[in-house]
Amino acid sequence: MPLPRKIDLVAAADERIHAVFQPHVAGDVNDAQVKIAKFGEVFDWHAHENEDEAFLVLRGRIAIDFRDGAVEMDEGEFLVVPKGVEHRPRSLTHEPVVLMFEPATTINTGNAQSGLTVTELNRL
C-alpha cells in the first residue's frame, strides 16, 4: 500500500481554490468528507435537515449567523451547527479558509437552491 498523502490545507486552498464558497474535498473519512473552502461576504440562509455540519477556521475570521444572533470565529476555533438549524456563514476578513466536516451526501446550500449550490465537488 502506498503511504497516505499529507496536505498543507492552507497552501492547497491558496493554490487550488479560486472562488469563494466553492468547497473542495480534502479527504474522505468513512461516510463523511472533510471539505475546505474560502468564504465570501455572505452565504445563503439554509439548513441541513438530516446532517450536522462542523466548521474549523484555518485562516482569517468568519461569522455564522443564526436567526437569534451570530457566532464569530477566529483561527483555530470550531463550531458544530446541529441538523435542522438555519444558518448563514459569512466572512469577517478577506477570503478566510474554513474546514468543514459533514456527511459526504451534504449539499452546501442544504435546503436552499441558488447560484451558490455546488453538487459536483473538486478534490484537492
In sequence order, what E strands does 4-86 have? 24-29, 32-38, 53-59, 62-66, 69-73, 78-81
Cell of 44: 445563503
pLDDT given for residue 112 in this prediction: 87
Whether 115 contacts 109, CB under 8 Å: no
Average per-residue pLDDT for the chain: 95
42-60 residue pLDDT tens: 999 999 999 999 999 999 9
pLDDT greater than 90 at residue 18:
yes
Q: Where are the domains of the chain?
A: 9-123
Confidence class of residue 109 from pLDDT cuts 50, 70 and 90?
Answer: confident
Q: Is residue 89 classed exposed, middle or buried when 0-12, 13-18 and 19+ CB atoms within 10 A define those classes?
A: buried
76-104 residue pLDDT tens: 999 999 999 999 999 999 999 999 999 99
- What is the CATH code for 9-123? 2.60.120.10
Cell of 1: 500500500
pLDDT greater than 90 at residue 28:
yes
